[in-house]
Structure 1
Amino acid sequence: MTLFSIIVPTLNESENIDLLLTRIYALDFIPDSFEIIVVDDGSTDGTPNKVRDWAKQSNIRLIERREEPDLSASILTGVAAAKSNVIVIMDADLSHPPEQLSAVITPILNNSYDVVVGSRYITGGSTENWPLYRQLLSRIGGWIARPICDVNDATSGFFAFRRELASNISDHALGYKILLELLMANQGKIRVTEIPICFRDRTHGTSKLSLFHQQAYLQRLITLAGGTVTLNTAGRFAAVGLFGVLIDAFVFQWMLSRDAGLALAHFVSFFFAATVNYTFNSKWSFREHHAGYLYWHQFGRFLTVGALALLLRGGVLAFLVYLCHVPPLFAIFPAIITTAAVNYLGSAFYVFPNKKEPPSLDIRWRTAAIGIVLFVISLRLVYFGLAQLIPDETYYWQYAQHMDLSFYDHPPAVAWLIWIGTSILGHNEFGIRIGSLFCGFMTMGYLYALAQNLYDKSTAMRTILLLAILPIGFTSGLLMIPDAPLMAAWAATLYYMERALVAHQNSAWLGMGIAFGLGLLSKYSLGLLGLAALVFVIIDPTARRWMKRPHPYLTTLLSLLIFSPVIIWNYQNDWISFAFQSNRVLADDYKFAVHLLVLHIIILLTPIGFLAAIFALFFTKRPESQQLERRRHLFVQVFAGTPLFVCFILSTFDAPRFHWTAPIWLALLPTIAWMIVHTDHLSAEFKRIQTAWRLTIVTCIFSYAFLLHYVVLGIPGIPYHLFTEHYFWRETASEIEQIAAEVRNQTSKEPIIVGMSKWSVASALYFYTHSDAQLDIRSRNMFGGSGAMYEFWFPSQNPTDRPIIQVGMKRRHLEKIRPDIDVKTMLDQPGAIEYCVIERHGVPVRRVYYRISQGFKGINYQ
């Protein structure tokens, strides 16, 4: 009985074939238990003759192909001729060790797996005697396949599989990597494993790999991912794009010559060029994927891609014009080129996708995840140094100017990150926000690993997609606020807790201790994960065993050690920070605010995300019945449900802060992502909810790009002052500097500028004036109001005859801090409250209110 068939494709391998067959027959196999099929692709060096000689005395067959040489076609020809149901593929050049045949075949023969890959790129695998450039090309080939393929070595030529799987391979399969075709054709339906092998470069003959094969592999990979990118379409798209560039640049210059603003000129020129591009691309570049008439669904997708490309290129244009001081006429060209990739890839994968060989739903989501996450990251990279700081960020920048072990209203992690960033990149938006970018990548990495452990690679990719597009992830990855390091630490803590409590990895306790300690240095709310861990240990009998071991207690000590700077600072300051946070949570005034909590969650998750979260938390059940799957599901429920329950209880007597629940949803995102594709167990109503994710994703991405473009370049036709009361502090600071200069000239005294808010106005003004003018800027604590850390940095001012300039976002802020504190009584000769209109590039953006007084009588003056 033939248990397995070995297929060896050959092309001029006469120097290797004898030694290969000798080594195979030297193995400890029953001679009649296998067959060898040599498929020759037109060798001219005598290879077929040597195989015929072997066939006379062994179970070897020779098949000679007369068609054009193609490795995939040769292998499929051999598969069709095989007698057994288990197929092994290996090269004839002795690069694959025949001694590993048993390890490759056995998992299939005993029905443990359907495909076994001899891998160079897992632990124990290696390559020998390969030139560096070949190793690099091979690595790159494996890396670019990994997002859509679940093995580490998708370009391996040594593997075994069940014969029936080959029937699913596309008729369009070409090239030299049939393994990729096999895996993609059976994605999600097969059990795959990898075994380590040592790959040795050939010692006889020459390699058949060429640049053409590399291009064919890349082309095929894109096709399998659902794209229509080919050399022909790329060339035609480039020709159309060049014509569009000329139109774009001409209209842009014409608009500027008519005194149009930068934003209006770039909008109008883009739409002219985009209209021309769509016409030619649909009729020429992608004509084989176009119906030949205007297809509104397709045109809507084109408009979506075009709008996103437009909003991204606005950031590139602003960067070049405002920061690099490149003339607009020249800046438009790199802006066009930068976003051409968005248009092309969006057209190839989204507007004109591959419909001849449509990929599975799972692969489409993987491809979408890659494209969308890359676009969101591009948005952050382009805009995070352009968009002005919000007052919260300038306040935490003030932390970094007064470095300490901790602070009154927050732990010190945000200050430490800003201090590092500004030390490297300077005191600017880049320097301050680089920490949030780093934290965003950390959050993505740990959440990906957590989702992969709980579910699978596909779910992990969709999880990162959700993190990138939902407000909870996009905001924390862009703004340098305490939530940025908190999200990273929360994701890391969840990962290590799952590894420790569910997977029972002893080493995970060390990571948990470090992540938990760093999380407490970010925000005290991370302590809710400690409570969740206690609940999980109580509920889960398997995890309860850890209570008898030293790991949890050593982890707690490590976390406290990392958290010790905050403890020391509080000890030195009468535990004031702990008391402040307790008062925020345990407010004296009763206020039922559950409805506000729900509203905040809907905003943070979007309505569709909110409904999906409810179902994931309370109703979904994993179909698997294994104990490990049940424990993983319990882990998700406990680590999302316990912190959420605490927030719910608090909201019954106090108004919650808007962002309180943001990190809680990290534990639930993998389950939400899993449900997007696995809808078999969902009701019809929730299936309809799942289909709404596409619209939610597009809406979120467009909203972020629109908002960033709006605050940096503006949107033609939408006035600024509708949304910008708390923004545009650079222009506001410049106006206040002029007012201060006038007061200084009139009085010959240095005025004191008082931001009439807790800390936001003073911090924003200080950041945007500190490098130009050393102004004396205080917070409202000068008048007896709360000033948070300003009460430490700038205690209440004694009476003075120096002029006082109050600055506020609203008129009422200049009059009363609280009903019992009338500011006017403390001022000497207070003037009338006035306002000035702040402009940006000649466009009104906001108002700011101010009042000038001749002096300050003192905080206790009656």
Structure 2
Amino acid sequence: MTQFSIVVPALNEAGNIDLLLTRLSALNFAPYSFEVIFVDDGSTDGAPDKVRAWRNQSNVHLIERRDKPDLTAATLAGIAAAKSDVIVVMDADLSHPPEQLPAIVTPVLNGNYDVVIGSRYVAGGSTENWPLYRQLLSRAGSWIARPLCDVNDATSGFFAFRRELAACISNHARGYKILLELLMANQGKLRVTEVPICFRDRAQGASKLSLSHQQAYIQRLITLAGGTATLNTAGRFAAVGLFGALIDAVVFQWMISRDAGLALAHFISFFVAAVTNYTFNSKWSFREHHAGYLKWHQFGRFLTVGALALLLRGGVLALLVYVWHIPPLLAIFPAIVATAAVNYLGSAFYVFPSEKDLPSLDIRWRTAAIGIVLFAILLRLVYFGLAQLIPDETYYWQYAQHMDLSFYDHPPMVAWLIWFGTAIAGNNEFGVRIGALLCGSITLGYLYALAQNLYDKSTAMRTLLLLAILPLGFGSGLLMTPDAPLVAAWAATLYYMERTLVAGQRTAWLGMGIAFGAGLLSKYTIGLLGIAALVFVILDPTARRWMQRSHPYLAALLALLLFSPVIIWNYENDWASFAFQSNQLLTDGHEFAVHFLIFHILVLLTPIGFAAALLALFSNKPSEDRPFERRRQLFVQIFTGVPLCIFFIISTFETPRFHWTGPIWLAVLPAIAWMIGQTDQVSAFARRIQASWRLTIISCIFVYAFVLHYVVLGIPGMPYHMFTEHYFWRETAGEIKQIAAEVKHQTGQEPIIVGMSKWSVASALYFYTHGDDPLDIRSRNMFGDSGAMYEYWLPSQEAADRPIIQVGMKRRHLERTRTKNDINHMLDHPGPIEYRVIERYGTPVRRVYYRISQGFKGVS
């Protein structure tokens, strides 16, 4: 009886057949027996005769195909003729060592695995005698397939599997990577393992690999992912795109010549070109995937992709015109080209997706995750250096100008990151925000690893999707505030805590000590994770054993050592920072603010995300016979629930800040992502939540693109009322410089500019006026009120006979302050409160209020 069949597709391999069969015959494989099926694909070197010569000596069979040579088709023909239920596929050129056959096929014969792959790219695997370009091509082929299948060597030609799995392979399967077809067709249903092999280049014959094979592989991978991007559609799309680009450029230039403004011109020209493109693409470029009549849902998807491409293009256009100073009539062309890829890929995967080989739901989610995460990253990169800093960022930039071991209201990590970024890129928006980009990347990496450890790779990819589109993740990866390093450190600490407390890895305690220490250097809030870890250890008997070992105590000591700069600074400054944080919670004025906390959570998670979080925390109850699932659920509940409960307690007597709860939801994101992929035994409420995620994802990414375009380039027909107080500081600073110049001209003295807020006005003005002729800018602590770090940087409250210009975001900021003293008595001949309208490219954007006095008498 034949226990397994070896299928060997061959084309002009006459020089290798005798040696291959000799080495296979020499294998001691008792008690298993096997057959060898050669599938000749039209050889012209006498290879079929070589196989026939062996038919009388061993269990060797020959199939001769007369169709066009195709490795996948040849392999499927051999599988169809096999007599056994276990199949091994290998090449005929001896690149796959026959001696590794027992290690490949035995796990399938034993029923331990469904597929076993001879892998070059796991520990112990290697390639020999391959030229560098072949190694790079092979690595690249495996790398681009990894997001869609859960193996390291998806392009391997040496593998064993259960024969019944081949029935799921599509009839449209073509190319030379049958393993990829097998894995994708059975995604999520397979027990797969990889066995290391040494792959050796052929000694005889010529390789069949060509550029056309590489193109066919990429094409097939795209099709299996649900896309319709082919050379034919790409060529037709490019032709349509060139015609659309011509229309786009002509309309844009006509609008610019009519003084329409950059934003309006690029909106109108894009709309005209988009309508033209959709008409031709639906009728010609993607005609195989269009029903021939208007589909409203398809047209809606087209509008969605077009709107995202439009909003991204606005950033590219602003970068070219306002930063690189390229004339608009020339800048429109690279802007069109830069966003053509978004339009094409969006059309290929979303507007006109493949309907012949519809991928599984899991594959569609993975494809969506790749596309949306990449778009979110691209959106950040384009707008990173264009969007002006918010006052918080300028304040922390001030930290970097006064480097110290720590600071009054925050630990020093944000200052270190800004110092690093500005040292590389200069004191501009991009330089300030490089640290946020770095922290966002760290968060993505650690959260992906955490989700994969808790669940699987598909869940990990959906977790990245959620992190990229939810406000808590997108905001922390864009703005350079202490929350950016805090979120990164929180994700890293969660990862190492899972490795230690759930997986029991001793070496992970070192990582946890470093991550927790980095978190303490970012924001004291991370201490809540320490409380959560203690609760988990108390409740979980397995983790409780760590209390008797030295590892957690050494990790705590390491974190404390990293935190020592903050301790030293507080020691030298009368414990000011610790006292400040304590006073925030122990203030005399108590206010019940739970409703504010809930509202903030709804914004940070979105309503759908909040409902999904509650569902993930409380609805999933693993059975008693699944200890890992129970401990996993406990980990998610404790590391989300404990910090959340503490915030709820605080909000009963203190109004929480908007962003406080952002990091605590990182622990539950993998559980939410896991529930998105569940299709069996799901409640009706859970199904409604799952169905709502698509709209939530599209809405969030659209809102981010819309807001960024709005603050950088504007939206035609929409006035600037959303950011009248806290934004557009570059233009405001220019107006204040003009006022200061007028005062200096009138008095002959350099005025003192006083921002009438704790630190935001002074910091924003200083950042945008810190060039060659900086102004003397101070905070309201000059009048005896609180000024946070300005009390350390500019503590003097002495009288001055120089003119004073008070600047505020609102009139009431100049009319009164929190100080007990009457500010009017401190000023020498204070003038009336005035305001100026700040314009941006001729459009009013906000007001700035100011008052001029002849001098300052000092704080009485």
Task: Calculate the TM-score normalised by the size of structure 2.
Answer: 0.99
Q: Which residue of 1 aligns with 2:413?
A: 413
Distance 2:258 2:69 in 1: 62
**Residues 779 and 216 of structure 1: is their aligned pair in 2 closer, same or farther, counting only changes over 3 Å?**
same
- The amino acid that maps onto 1:756 is M
Q: Which residue of 2 aligns with 1:136?
A: 136
Distance 2:239 2:46 in 1: 48
CA contact (8 A) 2:752 2:805 kept: yes
Offset at 1:582?
1.0
Q: Which residue of 1 aligns with 2:450?
A: 450
Write out per-residue CA displacement over residues 26-48 of structure 1, whole angstroms, 9 at most, x where no aligned residue.
Answer: 11113871111111111111111
Q: Which residue of 2 aligns with 1:597?
A: 597
Write out per-residue CA displacement over residues 165-197 of structure 1, whole angstroms, 9 at most, x where no aligned residue.
Answer: 001100000010000000011111111111111
**Residues 722 and 531 of structure 1: is their aligned pair in 2 closer, same or farther, counting only changes over 3 Å?**
closer
Give the 3-state SS of the residue equivalent to 2:244 in structure 1.
Answer: helix
For the pair 1:563 / 2:563, whether they are aligned, the reply is yes
Distance 1:447 1:735 in 2: 44
Unaligned regions of 5+ residues in structure 2, if any?
none
Q: Which residue of 1 aligns with 2:666?
A: 666
Q: Which residue of 2 aligns with 1:398?
A: 398
Q: Which residue of 1 aligns with 2:751?
A: 751
Q: Which residue of 2 aligns with 1:552?
A: 552
Q: Which residue of 1 aligns with 2:115?
A: 115
How does 1:298-377 map onto structure 2 within 5 Å?
298-377=298-377
Q: Which residue of 2 aligns with 1:818?
A: 818
Give the 3-state SS of the residue equivalent to 1:321 in structure 2.
Answer: helix
**Residues 622 and 369 of structure 1: is their aligned pair in 2 closer, same or farther, counting only changes over 3 Å?**
farther
Q: Which residue of 1 aligns with 2:717?
A: 717
Distance 1:85 1:418 in 2: 62
Q: Which residue of 2 aligns with 1:691?
A: 691
Q: How many residue pairs are counted as aligned between the two chains? A: 860
CA contact (8 A) 1:440 1:488 kept: yes
Distance 1:79 1:208 in 2: 21
Q: Which residue of 1 aligns with 2:585?
A: 585
CA contact (8 A) 2:784 2:797 kept: no
CA contact (8 A) 1:796 1:859 kept: no
**Residues 558 and 849 of structure 1: is their aligned pair in 2 closer, same or farther, counting only changes over 3 Å?**
same
- The amino acid that maps onto 2:521 is L
Q: Which residue of 2 aligns with 1:64?
A: 64
Distance 2:679 2:761 in 1: 49
Q: Which residue of 2 aligns with 1:102?
A: 102
Give the 3-state SS of the residue equivalent to 2:721 in structure 1.
Answer: helix
Q: Which residue of 2 aligns with 1:533?
A: 533
Offset at 1:620?
2.0
**Residues 502 and 254 of structure 1: is their aligned pair in 2 closer, same or farther, counting only changes over 3 Å?**
same
Give the 3-state SS of the residue equivalent to 2:116 in structure 1.
Answer: strand
Task: Calculate the TM-score normalised by the size of structure 1.
Answer: 0.99
Write out per-residue CA displacement over residues 594-630 of structure 1, whole angstroms, 9 at most, x where no aligned residue.
Answer: 1111110000000100111111112223579421221
Give the CA RMSD over aligned residues.
Answer: 1.0
- The amino acid that maps onto 2:720 is Y
Distance 2:143 2:806 in 1: 58
CA contact (8 A) 1:815 1:824 kept: no
- The amino acid that maps onto 1:563 is F
Distance 2:26 2:443 in 1: 52
Distance 2:114 2:557 in 1: 47
Distance 2:373 2:608 in 1: 19
Distance 2:722 2:502 in 1: 50
Q: Which residue of 2 aligns with 1:51?
A: 51
How does 1:82-481 map onto structure 2 within 5 Å?
82-481=82-481
CA contact (8 A) 2:411 2:521 kept: yes
How does 1:644-793 map onto structure 2 within 5 Å?
644-793=644-793
Distance 2:493 2:311 in 1: 36
CA contact (8 A) 2:317 2:332 kept: yes
Give the 3-state SS of the residue equivalent to 1:717 in structure 2.
Answer: coil
After alignment, is 384-393 or 609-618 more displaced? 609-618
After alignment, is 172-181 or 64-73 more displaced? 64-73
Distance 1:621 1:238 in 2: 52
Offset at 1:818?
1.9
Q: Which residue of 2 aligns with 1:610?
A: 610
CA contact (8 A) 2:123 2:196 kept: yes
Distance 2:689 2:122 in 1: 39
- The amino acid that maps onto 2:565 is P
- The amino acid that maps onto 1:724 is T
Write out per-residue CA displacement over residues 372-410 of structure 1, whole angstroms, 9 at most, x where no aligned residue.
Answer: 000000000000100000000000000000000000000
Give the 3-state SS of the residue equivalent to 1:54 in structure 2.
Answer: coil
Q: Which residue of 1 aligns with 2:838?
A: 838
Distance 2:504 2:677 in 1: 29
Give the 3-state SS of the residue equivalent to 2:410 in structure 1.
Answer: coil
Offset at 1:679?
4.1
Write out per-residue CA displacement over residues 318-345 of structure 1, whole angstroms, 9 at most, x where no aligned residue.
Answer: 0000000000011000000000000000
- The amino acid that maps onto 2:458 is S
- The amino acid that maps onto 1:120 is R
Give the 3-state SS of the residue equivalent to 2:53 in structure 1.
Answer: helix
Q: Give me the identity figure in percent.
A: 78
CA contact (8 A) 2:783 2:826 kept: yes
CA contact (8 A) 2:226 2:358 kept: yes
Distance 1:781 1:747 in 2: 25
CA contact (8 A) 1:114 1:191 kept: yes
- The amino acid that maps onto 1:849 is Y
- The amino acid that maps onto 1:420 is F
Distance 2:705 2:357 in 1: 32
Offset at 1:510?
0.6
Distance 1:622 1:422 in 2: 49
- The amino acid that maps onto 2:73 is A
CA contact (8 A) 1:463 1:669 kept: yes
Give the 3-state SS of the residue equivalent to 1:818 in structure 2.
Answer: coil
How does 1:4-23 map onto structure 2 within 5 Å?
4-23=4-23
- The amino acid that maps onto 2:151 is V
Give the 3-state SS of the residue equivalent to 2:724 in structure 1.
Answer: coil
Offset at 1:140?
0.5
Distance 1:822 1:501 in 2: 58
CA contact (8 A) 1:32 1:59 kept: no
Write out per-residue CA displacement over residues 678-730 of structure 1, whole angstroms, 9 at most, x where no aligned residue.
Answer: 14343202211211011111110010000000000000000013433200000
Give the 3-state SS of the residue equivalent to 1:654 in structure 2.
Answer: coil
- The amino acid that maps onto 2:817 is I
Distance 2:32 2:310 in 1: 66
Distance 1:822 1:719 in 2: 38
Offset at 1:796?
3.7
Write out per-residue CA displacement over residues 536-569 of structure 1, whole angstroms, 9 at most, x where no aligned residue.
Answer: 1111101111111110010011000000000000
Write out per-residue CA displacement over residues 480-508 of structure 1, whole angstroms, 9 at most, x where no aligned residue.
Answer: 00000001000000001101111111110
Distance 1:366 1:11 in 2: 36
CA contact (8 A) 1:176 1:217 kept: yes
- The amino acid that maps onto 1:555 is A
- The amino acid that maps onto 1:498 is E
**Residues 624 and 728 of structure 1: is their aligned pair in 2 closer, same or farther, counting only changes over 3 Å?**
farther
CA contact (8 A) 1:468 1:474 kept: yes
- The amino acid that maps onto 1:454 is L
For the pair 1:797 / 2:797, whether they are aligned, the reply is yes
Unaligned regions of 5+ residues in structure 1, if any?
none
CA contact (8 A) 1:814 1:823 kept: no
